[in-house]
Amino acid sequence: MRRMFFVGALTLASALLAATPAMAEIRIIQSPGGEVGPFLDLFEQVRESGERVVIDGPCLSACTLVLSIVPGERICVTKRAILGFHAARSVDRRGRFYAEPEASDAVLQAYPGPVRNWISRHGGLSSRLLLLKGRDLAAIYPRCR
Protein backbone atom coordinates (compact mmCIF):
# COMPACT_ATOMS: atom_id res chain seq x y z
CA MET A 1 0.00 0.00 0.00
CA ARG A 2 1.32 3.42 -0.88
CA ARG A 3 0.75 6.12 1.65
CA MET A 4 1.86 9.63 1.03
CA PHE A 5 2.20 12.02 3.93
CA PHE A 6 2.79 15.67 3.32
CA VAL A 7 4.50 17.58 6.10
CA GLY A 8 3.40 21.18 5.63
CA ALA A 9 3.87 24.56 7.18
CA LEU A 10 0.85 24.63 9.48
CA THR A 11 1.04 21.80 11.98
CA LEU A 12 2.44 18.34 11.77
CA ALA A 13 -0.90 16.73 12.56
CA SER A 14 -2.89 18.68 9.98
CA ALA A 15 -0.22 18.11 7.35
CA LEU A 16 -0.54 14.35 7.25
CA LEU A 17 -2.61 13.49 4.19
CA ALA A 18 -3.95 10.67 2.10
CA ALA A 19 -3.34 7.17 0.94
CA THR A 20 -2.98 5.72 -2.54
CA PRO A 21 -2.15 2.14 -3.53
CA ALA A 22 1.38 0.94 -4.46
CA MET A 23 4.70 1.27 -2.61
CA ALA A 24 4.89 2.73 0.91
CA GLU A 25 6.30 6.24 0.91
CA ILE A 26 6.40 9.35 3.07
CA ARG A 27 6.85 12.59 1.10
CA ILE A 28 8.07 15.72 2.86
CA ILE A 29 7.15 18.69 0.69
CA GLN A 30 7.51 21.54 3.17
CA SER A 31 8.27 21.54 6.87
CA PRO A 32 9.56 24.53 8.84
CA GLY A 33 10.21 22.28 11.84
CA GLY A 34 8.72 22.94 15.24
CA GLU A 35 8.69 21.14 18.54
CA VAL A 36 10.92 18.08 18.56
CA GLY A 37 8.51 15.64 20.23
CA PRO A 38 5.96 15.25 17.41
CA PHE A 39 8.74 14.80 14.85
CA LEU A 40 10.42 12.12 16.96
CA ASP A 41 7.10 10.28 17.30
CA LEU A 42 6.31 10.52 13.57
CA PHE A 43 9.76 9.42 12.41
CA GLU A 44 9.80 6.51 14.89
CA GLN A 45 6.53 5.33 13.33
CA VAL A 46 8.00 5.73 9.86
CA ARG A 47 11.10 3.74 10.85
CA GLU A 48 8.95 0.94 12.23
CA SER A 49 6.68 0.93 9.17
CA GLY A 50 9.49 0.30 6.70
CA GLU A 51 8.29 3.16 4.52
CA ARG A 52 10.66 5.12 2.30
CA VAL A 53 11.06 8.89 2.89
CA VAL A 54 11.15 11.23 -0.10
CA ILE A 55 12.41 14.70 0.78
CA ASP A 56 10.84 16.88 -1.91
CA GLY A 57 11.14 20.41 -0.51
CA PRO A 58 12.33 22.26 2.58
CA CYS A 59 12.84 20.07 5.66
CA LEU A 60 14.07 22.47 8.31
CA SER A 61 15.01 22.34 11.95
CA ALA A 62 13.28 19.46 13.80
CA CYS A 63 12.26 17.91 10.47
CA THR A 64 15.92 16.99 9.88
CA LEU A 65 15.64 14.49 12.73
CA VAL A 66 14.38 12.13 10.03
CA LEU A 67 18.05 11.65 9.13
CA SER A 68 18.80 10.36 12.63
CA ILE A 69 15.83 8.02 12.95
CA VAL A 70 14.99 6.56 9.55
CA PRO A 71 17.72 4.38 8.01
CA GLY A 72 19.64 6.27 5.33
CA GLU A 73 18.99 3.62 2.68
CA ARG A 74 15.28 4.48 2.96
CA ILE A 75 15.78 8.22 2.37
CA CYS A 76 16.04 9.88 -1.03
CA VAL A 77 15.97 13.51 -2.16
CA THR A 78 14.57 15.39 -5.15
CA LYS A 79 16.03 18.49 -6.79
CA ARG A 80 13.71 20.57 -4.59
CA ALA A 81 15.02 19.10 -1.32
CA ILE A 82 16.61 21.44 1.20
CA LEU A 83 17.72 20.46 4.69
CA GLY A 84 18.06 23.25 7.26
CA PHE A 85 20.10 22.86 10.45
CA HIS A 86 20.60 25.10 13.49
CA ALA A 87 21.55 24.71 17.13
CA ALA A 88 18.95 23.47 19.59
CA ARG A 89 17.10 26.14 21.48
CA SER A 90 14.26 26.51 23.94
CA VAL A 91 11.85 29.29 24.82
CA ASP A 92 11.43 30.64 28.34
CA ARG A 93 8.14 31.77 29.89
CA ARG A 94 8.65 35.26 28.51
CA GLY A 95 9.02 33.96 24.95
CA ARG A 96 12.79 34.49 24.81
CA PHE A 97 14.96 31.91 23.06
CA TYR A 98 18.01 30.48 24.75
CA ALA A 99 20.67 28.06 23.57
CA GLU A 100 20.69 24.38 24.55
CA PRO A 101 24.34 23.37 23.92
CA GLU A 102 24.01 19.83 25.32
CA ALA A 103 20.99 19.16 23.13
CA SER A 104 22.82 20.59 20.11
CA ASP A 105 25.74 18.23 20.73
CA ALA A 106 23.39 15.25 21.10
CA VAL A 107 21.53 16.09 17.88
CA LEU A 108 24.77 16.61 15.97
CA GLN A 109 26.13 13.25 17.13
CA ALA A 110 22.89 11.52 16.11
CA TYR A 111 23.14 12.68 12.49
CA PRO A 112 24.85 10.31 10.03
CA GLY A 113 28.59 10.90 9.62
CA PRO A 114 28.44 12.60 6.19
CA VAL A 115 25.81 15.05 7.46
CA ARG A 116 27.81 15.73 10.63
CA ASN A 117 30.92 16.35 8.53
CA TRP A 118 29.06 18.74 6.22
CA ILE A 119 27.72 20.69 9.22
CA SER A 120 31.20 20.88 10.74
CA ARG A 121 32.73 22.09 7.45
CA HIS A 122 30.11 24.85 7.36
CA GLY A 123 30.75 26.23 10.84
CA GLY A 124 28.81 23.82 13.06
CA LEU A 125 25.40 24.21 14.63
CA SER A 126 24.66 27.77 15.72
CA SER A 127 21.72 30.18 15.66
CA ARG A 128 22.40 30.63 11.93
CA LEU A 129 20.44 28.31 9.63
CA LEU A 130 22.71 26.09 7.49
CA LEU A 131 21.09 24.92 4.24
CA LEU A 132 22.19 21.62 2.69
CA LYS A 133 20.90 21.31 -0.87
CA GLY A 134 21.82 20.67 -4.48
CA ARG A 135 25.02 18.79 -5.24
CA ASP A 136 26.15 18.72 -1.62
CA LEU A 137 22.91 17.01 -0.61
CA ALA A 138 22.95 14.64 -3.61
CA ALA A 139 26.47 13.58 -2.59
CA ILE A 140 25.05 12.31 0.72
CA TYR A 141 21.59 11.00 -0.22
CA PRO A 142 20.51 9.46 -3.56
CA ARG A 143 18.13 11.20 -5.90
CA CYS A 144 14.65 9.70 -5.83
CA ARG A 145 13.60 7.55 -8.78
| Alpha carbons 59 and 82: distance in angstroms, whole number | 6
Q: 101-130 burial by CB neighbour count: b if 16+ within 10 A, else e?
A: eeebeebbeebeeebbebbeeeeebeeeeb
Instruction: With a cut of 50, say whether residue 15 has pLDDT above it.
Output: no
Give the model's confidence band at 23: pLDDT under 50 very low, under 70 low, under 90 confident, else very high: low
| Residue range 116-141: mean pLDDT, rounded | 97
Query: What is the three-state SS of 89-145?
Result: EEECCCCCEEECHHHHHHHHHHCCHHHHHHHHHCCCCCCCCEEEEHHHHHCCCCECC
The larger pLDDT score, comparing residue 11 to residue 53, is at 53
| Alpha carbons 56 and 101: distance in angstroms, whole number | 30
CATH number for the domain formed by residue range(s) 25-139: 3.90.226.10
| Three-class SS state of 20 | strand
Q: What is the pTM (predicted TM-score) of this model? A: 0.82
Give the model's confidence band at 24: pLDDT under 50 very low, under 70 low, under 90 confident, else very high: confident
Task: Write the CB contacts of 73 (distance below 8 Å, at least 6 apart in sequence).
Answer: none
Give the model's confidence band at 145: pLDDT under 50 very low, under 70 low, under 90 confident, else very high: confident
Sequence ranges of the domains in the chain: 25-139
Q: What is the pLDDT of residues 31-60, one digit of tens each?
A: 999 999 999 999 999 999 999 999 999 999
Backbone angles phi, psi at 28, to 5 degrees: -100, 115
Q: What is the pLDDT of residues 62-115, one digit of tens each?
A: 999 999 999 999 999 999 999 999 999 998 999 998 999 999 999 999 999 999
* pLDDT confidence of residue 2: 36
